[in-house]
Amino acid sequence: MRVAIVYDCLYPQTVGGAQRWYRDLAARLAARHQVSYVTRRQWAAGETPEAPPGVRVVAVSAGRDLYTASGRRTILSPLRFGWGVFWHLLRHRRRYDVVHTCGFPYFSLLAARLACAAGGPPVVTDWLEIWSRAYWIAYLSPAAGRIGAAVQQLCIHLTGRAFVLSRLHGERLRQEGYRGDPTLLSGIYAGPTASLDAAAVRHPLVVYVGRHLSHKRVLAIPPTIALARRRIPGLRAMIFGDGPDRGRLLAEIERLGMQDTITCPGFAPWDEVDAALRRAMCLLLPSEREGYGLVVVEAAARGTPSIVVRGPDNAAPELIEEGENGFVAASAEPETLAAALVAVHAGAPELVRRTRAWFAHNVQRLSIDASVTQVEAVYAEITNGASARVHASA
């Protein structure tokens, strides 16, 4: 089967959970299918992008900044990408049997559906997140937020077969007018299925892994560590990643006088992140919005429990069994997060043992291989249906 995966970011040129999902999906599909990764150019002219073996990378637009200085997605970059996707799929409508795209940032989905209507290949869509109208308004403004919500709803109405990664967003997809039954993928964890060796002695270390964007609430971490240190002697933190909030984060660390307590390595090699997770007391993920929360599973693979935050737009709590592989905090207020850190510290080392047991019990369900099997079944169903319609009209 000839598959086109359409997403405007390519890992590791751009780092994030969705990027890793599409990289790992492409890698596994390429073992059995012809896979093209249709994206925008995020590398210097003349360079060859890093991609999984057997995956053909097709750049259909020039690289542009994804985020504004305030941390919001830009409009121009996805518009240019959507236009590039449309013309590529229109010119090469016989090159692919199926197109697999992401619902967000919308314009590439619109482009793929337009190309499909013009005789191109059928389209399947991942809806990793669906934003509520209230979130749209808070994210943008009352006027712009309503426009964003309307565009999202249009894209939902144009969606054929859909995949989701959480119960939260599967239900929200239906509430927003999706007329089908989305396929809930089992998981996207692509690491070893055997529990990884963890440090014999855990350090009083808290780890964050992710981008420094406003909805990730990384700025809540320094005051949280400052409060928790009153109860946990020697507590330290490592904050991996980068983004628009990094400058404010470093300023907050300096304001609190915690330069020797909190380190910010940026986008570090995975070996460094892996080593930190193996010896950490816990992962702290204070985001208000997660479509899945892959790093929670990756932490559990190392016996490391997680703290996430309950919220109407956050699917990460679906990955937590309270007291088994971590805790769900009621809010991202530093006092609340600090209390959760104290609970994790008090529960060690038994909590580490239970986290390892949770991972062992759930790993097959959370593995990407289970999801790839689901995806391939949908590919086969829609391509067989498309082939039958062609023969019937002949």
Instruction: Tell me which of 185-194, 307-316, 357-366, 371-380 is least confident.
Output: 185-194
Q: Which helix (H) or strand (E) holds 382?
A: helix 368-393
Three-state SS at 71 = coil
**233 pLDDT higher than 80:** yes
Residues 6 or more apart in contact with residue 86 via CB below 8 angstroms: 111, 112, 114, 115
How confident is the model at residue 45, as a pLDDT? Answer: 80
**113 pLDDT higher than 90:** yes
Q: What are phi and psi of 257, to 5 degrees?
A: 65, 40
Q: H/E/C letters for each residue in 20-62?
A: HHHHHHHHHHCCCCEEEEEECCCCCCCCCCCCCCCEEEEECCC
**387 pLDDT higher than 70:** no
**393 pLDDT higher than 50:** no
Cβ burial, residue 78 (10 Å; 0-12/13-18/19+): buried
**215 pLDDT higher than 70:** yes
Q: What is the pTM of this model?
A: 0.90
Domain 2-190+368-393 matching CATH 3.20.20.60: the answer reads: no
CA dihedral 221, 288, 322, 292 (to 10 degrees): -120
Give residue 183's pLDDT band: very low, low, confident or very high (50, 70, 90): very high
Give residue 140's pLDDT band: very low, low, confident or very high (50, 70, 90): confident
Angle at alpha carbon of residue 116, lines to 125 and 372, rounded to 5°: 30
How confident is the model at residue 43, as a pLDDT? Answer: 87
Angle at alpha carbon of residue 301, lines to 300 and 305, rounded to 5°: 20
Residues 37, 56: Cα–Cα separation, whole Å: 6
Share of the chain above pLDDT 70, in %: 94
pLDDT digits (tens, 9 = 90+) for 236-272: 999 999 999 999 999 999 999 999 999 999 999 999 9
In total, the chain counts a number of residues equal to 394
12: preceding bond cis by omega (within 30 degrees):
yes
**196 pLDDT higher than 80:** no
CA 123 to chain centre: 21
Span 205-366: which CATH code?
3.40.50.2000
**139 pLDDT higher than 70:** yes
**388 pLDDT higher than 50:** no
How confident is the model at residue 392, as a pLDDT? Answer: 42
Residues 104, 72: Cα–Cα separation, whole Å: 13
349: preceding bond cis by omega (within 30 degrees):
yes
Question: What ranges in 219-292 are assigned the alpha helix state H?
Answer: 221-228, 246-255, 270-279
Looking at the chain, which residues constitute the CATH 3.40.50.2000 domain(s)?
Answer: 2-190+368-393, 205-366
